[in-house]
Amino acid sequence: MNQCAPAVALRLASAALVLAALATGCRDAAPIASGGASASWPFYGGDAAGRRYSPLDQITPANVAALELAWTHHHGDLADSDETRGKSSFQATPIVVGDTLYYCTPLNRVFALDPETGTERWVYDPEVDAAQIRNLTCRGVAYWADPAAPEDSACRERIFTGTVDARLIAIDARTGQPCADFGSAGQVDLLVGIGEAFPGEYGVSSPPTVIRDVVAVGALVADNRRVDAPAGVVRGFDARSGALRWAFDPVPPGTPPRKPEPMPETDGTPSYHVGTANAWSIFSADSERDLLFVPTGNTSPDFYGGQRHGIDHYSSSVVALRGATGEVVWHFQTVHHDLWDYDVSSQPTLLDVPVNGALVPGVAQPTKMGHVFLLDRETGRPLYAVEERPVPQRPIPGETLSPTQPFPTHPPPLHPHTLSPDEAWGLTPWDRASCRDQLATLRNDGIFTPPSLEGSIQYPGVAGGTNWGSAAYDPERRLLVLGINRVANVQTAVPRDEVDWSERRGVLAMLFPQTGTPYVQKQEVLISSLGIPCNPPPWGTLVAVDLESGQVRWEVPLGSIREQAPVPIDLELGLPHAGGPLVTASGLVFIGASMDSTVRALDVETGETLWRARLPAGGQATPLTYRLENGARQLVVIAAGGHGTLGTRRGDSLVAYALP
Residues labelled as active-site residues:
341
Q: Are 330 and 320 in contact (CB under 8 A)?
A: yes
Using alpha carbons, list the distances in angstroms from residue 592 to 173, 333, 483, 601.
28, 30, 11, 9
CA distance 280 to 464: 17
In DSSP notation, 600-659 reads EEEETTT--EEEEEE-SS---S--EEEB-STTSPPEEEEEE---TTTTPPP--EEEEEE-
The closest alpha carbon to 399, from 491, 461, 488, belongs to: 491
CA distance 138 to 255: 33
**Cβ-count burial of 176 within 10 angstroms (0-12 exposed, 13-18 middle, 19+ buried)?**
middle
Q: Are 113 and 121 in contact (CB under 8 A)?
A: yes
Cβ neighbours of residue 327 closer than 8 Å, sequence gap 6 or more: 246, 321
CA distance 194 to 230: 5
Cβ neighbours of residue 612 closer than 8 Å, sequence gap 6 or more: 24, 598, 599, 600, 601
The 8-class DSSP code of residue 231 comes to P
CA 489 to chain CA centroid, Å, is: 19
Using alpha carbons, list the distances in angstroms from residue 568 to 46, 251, 375, 442.
35, 51, 44, 35
Q: Are 354 and 547 in contact (CB under 8 A)?
A: yes
Residue 28, SS3? coil
Cα-only R_g, the chain: 23
CA distance 99 to 628: 7
